[in-house]
Structure 1
Amino acid sequence: MTTYARALDGAAAERLREAVHGDIVQPGEPGYDEARTVYNAMIDKRPAAVVRAADAGDVIATVNLAREQDLDLAVRGGSHSVSGYGTCDDGVVLDLSGMRGTRVDPTTRTAWAEGGCTWADVNHATHAFGLATTGGVVSSTGIGGLTTGGGMGHLARSCGLVCDNLVSADVVVADGSFLTCTGEPDDENADLFWALRGGGGNFGVVTSFAYRLHPVADILGGPTFYPLDGDVLRRYRELVAESDERLGALLVVGLGPPLPFLPERWHGRPLCGVVACWAGPEAQDDEIRARLAGLGPVLGQYVGRMPYPVINTLFDELLPAGLFHYWKGTFSKGLPDGAIDAYVEFGADTPSIQSSTVVFPIDGACHRVAPEDTAFAYRDADFSTALSPTLPTRDECVANMDWVRRFAAALRPHSMEGAYVNFMGEDDQDRVRANYRQNYDRLTAVKRRYDPSNLFRLNHNIAP
């Protein structure tokens, strides 16, 4: 039987059970292994308790207990943290996945979503009104981690980052206080609102987010695949620079997936692709298809009209929970030729179909927010790249960590100093200051105000 270096003592456990409406699961109880499991199978930790919060009151009670007992506190929404910060050994996991209520006001174009929602929940609720906001590219991603990290997605070029569309947040901070922040001039917690928009999970538990919505219903979207060739990538660079901001265009470098519209001879072979999301008028659909066809020889294509929520599910089947991940990330100004050479070289050695390298354009509306207006500091970056060996077994993932480290090293001379915090591995803590750049000192001051004892330390941590 596994022993635990630290567990809730009987009195603390009883007090917590009396204070919360949701379930509490501890070691040895039915469902414990299920309760402790997270999206990234590389992470195998054993908390002293998992609290499945039912409401903000449960969140307050759990935060108070962790502070008073000096326990590690991990906050989990969609559980997609590839670094494993949604769980811990011997501490308390605050699982928000039961808090998934949503509400939409179509008149003010605002959506309210509880902290345990996924982007599938938000997209479903908003699409009923012909509205949307920037979200992730895997529908099971939690809104909490994506929003507080900054948040990229298919609509970023025209609608901004996820954090740019946040209009208010309800937050439980380290002393157990429940605060609502909006960033308005009369908001006494405006500094907290600023920090939440890109500063990660350093400042509290967001129990509810309110988002600005945009009139996006159906879009033209889907993947087009090409040979892995530097000329294709250079034409992609031109496509993004010259296109209407309403064209989202993720670049994917990896191995051909076993899709019916991609010839079988390309399955498992190195190639590149563009996942398009055109949120402009249908009358221009043929023009968009022609521009995609002009990037290079088309090996396979599935681009058609679809409801916006569908575009956020296209990676779901390829990336289910339970795979083994290890990530790195970069920001870059443009796509320098040296970076393109690295994509081609290392893309040819991609270790699995799930290990796609994804390049997110973050120009357009993302650039119209000043670097100091939110905690997300890289407003002059044009692209954000996610690098990951994603494999079906732990041993295979470990064996390919050197591939992604060498890939990241090859990109470094062509990249900016920091990277997107949600693409950072657990071994990237030394890059936190670089990731926040000119905003780091201000974030430290906010941290001292709301979490002076660093209760919320299981993250890419900004120490108080």
Structure 2
Amino acid sequence: MNDFTQAFEDAGFNIGEMKVLTDCSSDPVAYNAARQIFNRRFHFRPWAIVYPRTAEDVSSLVKFAFQSDRELRVRGGGHDHEGECMATDALVLDMRHMNNATIDHQAHVARIQPGCIFKNLIKVLNENKVGIPHGTCQTVGITGFTLGGGWGPWTRKHGMCCESLVGATIVLGDGSIKTLSDQGTDEEKELLWALRGGGGFSYGIVTELVIKTFPLPETTYKFAATWNMKPALEVLKGWENAIAPGQSPNLLGTNLQIFAKPADNTPIEKSAHDCTFFGYYAGTKEEIEAEIKQWFPNLPPDHLEFFSDEGPDHHLQFSSWELTSHRRRMAIKSGRPLLRDIPLEDDIPAPHKITSRLVNADGLGDEGRKKLIRSLESDLLFEKGEVLGVRAYVTLGAISGPFYANYKPADFPQGSAFPYKDRPYTIQYQVWWDTDRNISPEESEKAGVNLYTNRAMDWLEECRKAEFPQTSGAFISFKDDGVPTETYFMQSYEKLIEIKEKYSRDPENRFRSRKTII
């Protein structure tokens, strides 16, 4: 019997069928695999990793953690960019054994447990011919995604996933299990409002989400339009045309990736970057091609690739939109054919750092666009670093579209805590390294990757601190511990604190990490 199990049962709780992994146990391989999270920049050694199977298990673990004064963490998919789902010496609740999802066709909802990741959830949704506003990465967990807002390939059409949350089951700080409904009491409604984009873990531990479903389009296509070292300012303008209010209702969701590069003296209007427009479209290839000609009449893409809508996962658009493998990108740039041995990259864990802003409601304008492109040119970035796999870029994620254009309080009486409903798109600065599955960390170090990562991270810090008046705020799903918490929640911040203090039954604020609401 390990130390955790002994302590848990000595405190009067029943371990039941819960799996437990502990540090210095008889199964170090399993423990070491379980403590790894998606961002390999972080390495923690939790006291115990426990896999609850029921809400009652979660309740017992919460009571035990608080009674024993043990730091608590909760892991769903493990994609928290600042690693706050894991901590050294903490009791970690790994929700991956609570991974059931069922579809209620009569109520038009999906009931989803917190351990569901999109790779598995999409199969259930597709089999039932319904969708939810899911995300773009296969191994992201549904709970953190939804509670943070939930941007994805359906956002223009159906909004952030949090907008579709109509019910939940949550374990509060005293271990009580509470079922929330948008038709329930004021307490239920306010807690549910907070879960709609108010961040994860602050208010309790979710054991089930109830999310509205919608019928899937008969045909959807995923596409990637690529420009190799073309004027990025013109690409940005074309992409903004595509997502403008009232435009392109069949463009369900999209983002634009623009790679950063070493600084040079090129005039901003001619500054060339590698750019990729990723889109998810309810229509035919011919319709997509016609729309692209309208969006980019004077700058057609160098490469336009469509991804099959066949197979059980055809409504899961890409495994990862931005993380195009280095070999694939080099093939596109050189004009070589994309061979079968250069697949889209899976969600491969890798060290990275991310920060974000959002474009103000009235848009970037000419000066803002120039500032954005200029921010992607820096003396802290090096061509050799990129060749070795240090990738620095910005991803712009469209928010504006039919859903938020028609978002009226009368139609959404409960609303959501997500504060950026009127913003055109997110700006997500990213640095990733050691991401090529064919290069071991040892080989990368020998090749000199470590000479470039710190300076690329410094570039990202400069982007975060830069004066950029056409933007404001930050998106909690792109968590950066250097951003003040209030910045993530803006006008919802004070109300979220009030709800936390009033309803979470957590007077000592044990549901706490660096970026919880308190």
Please tell me the TM-score bracket, short chain as reference. 0.7 to 0.9
Matches of 1:339 and 1:329, distance apart in 2:
15
Residue of 361, 375, 391 corresponding to 2:398: 361
Label 1:415 to 1:249 Cα distance change in 2 as closer, same or farther (>3 A).
same
Instruction: Tell me if the contact between 2:221 and 2:308 (Cα under 8 Å) persists in the aligned partners.
Output: yes
Shift of 1:459: 4.8
Shift of 1:280: 4.7
Aligned to 2:454: 398
1:384 and 2:417 matched: no
1:462 and 2:498 matched: no
Matches of 2:77 and 2:12, distance apart in 1:
23
Count of matched residue positions in the alignment of Structure 1 and Structure 2: 442
Q: What amino acid maps onto 1:402 in structure 2?
A: D
Aligned to 2:330: none
What does 1:228-377 align with in structure 2 at a 5 Å threshold? 228-241=231-244, 243-247=247-251, 248-254=253-259, 270-280=273-283, 284-291=287-294, 294=297, 296-303=299-306, 306=309, 308-315=314-321, 317-318=344-345, 320-333=347-360, 334-348=363-377, 351=386, 352=389, 354-364=391-401, 365-367=403-405, 368=407, 370=409, 373-377=415-419
Unaligned ranges ≥5, structure 2: 262-271, 324-343, 435-440, 442-448
- Greater displacement, 50-59 / 33-42: 50-59
* Equivalent position SS for 2:178: strand
Shift of 1:355: 3.9
Shift of 1:448: 0.8
- Greater displacement, 389-398 / 400-409: 389-398
What does 1:101-112 align with in structure 2 at a 5 Å threshold? 101-112=100-111
Larger-gyration structure (1/2): 2
Q: What amino acid maps onto 1:221 in structure 2?
A: K
1:26 and 2:6 matched: no
Instruction: Tell me if the contact between 1:150 and 1:198 (Cα under 8 Å) persists in the aligned partners.
Output: yes
Matches of 1:410 and 1:273, distance apart in 2:
25
Aligned to 2:214: 214
Instruction: Tell me if the contact between 2:260 and 2:394 (Cα under 8 Å) persists in the aligned partners.
Output: no
Instruction: Tell me if the contact between 1:228 and 1:344 (Cα under 8 Å) persists in the aligned partners.
Output: no
Aligned to 1:152: 151
Q: What amino acid maps onto 1:278 in structure 2?
A: Y
1:30-56: CA deviation from partner (whole Å, max 9, x where unpaired): 122112111100111111111122222
Aligned to 1:439: 492
Residue of 8, 15, 36 corresponding to 1:12: 8
Shift of 1:75: 0.7
1:377-410: CA deviation from partner (whole Å, max 9, x where unpaired): 1222111121111111694543321111222334
Unaligned ranges ≥5, structure 1: 1-6, 257-268
Matches of 1:122 and 1:16, distance apart in 2:
36
Shift of 1:288: 3.0
Q: What amino acid maps onto 1:253 in structure 2?
A: I
1:61-82: CA deviation from partner (whole Å, max 9, x where unpaired): 2111111112111111000001
- TM-score, normalised via structure 1 length: 0.87
Q: What amino acid maps onto 1:236 in structure 2?
A: W
Label 1:460 to 1:235 Cα distance change in 2 as closer, same or farther (>3 A).
same
Q: What amino acid maps onto 2:242 in structure 1?
A: L
Matches of 1:22 and 1:228, distance apart in 2:
56
- Greater displacement, 350-359 / 56-65: 350-359
What does 1:51-62 align with in structure 2 at a 5 Å threshold? 51-62=50-61
Shift of 1:254: 1.8
Matches of 2:205 and 2:371, distance apart in 1:
39
Instruction: Tell me if the contact between 2:257 and 2:275 (Cα under 8 Å) persists in the aligned partners.
Output: yes
Aligned to 2:474: 419
Matches of 1:152 and 1:228, distance apart in 2:
27
Q: What amino acid maps onto 1:245 in structure 2?
A: P
Q: What amino acid maps onto 2:369 in structure 1?
A: I
- TM-score, normalised via structure 2 length: 0.79
Question: What is the RMSD of the two structures over their aligned residues, measured on CA atoms?
Answer: 2.7
Shift of 1:348: 5.0
Aligned to 1:259: none
Aligned to 1:265: none
Aligned to 1:196: 195
Instruction: Tell me if the contact between 2:320 and 2:347 (Cα under 8 Å) persists in the aligned partners.
Output: no
Q: What amino acid maps onto 1:118 in structure 2?
A: I
Matches of 2:169 and 2:394, distance apart in 1:
35
Matches of 1:43 and 1:251, distance apart in 2:
28
Instruction: Tell me if the contact between 2:486 and 2:493 (Cα under 8 Å) persists in the aligned partners.
Output: yes
Shift of 1:214: 1.5
Label 1:411 to 1:284 Cα distance change in 2 as closer, same or farther (>3 A).
farther
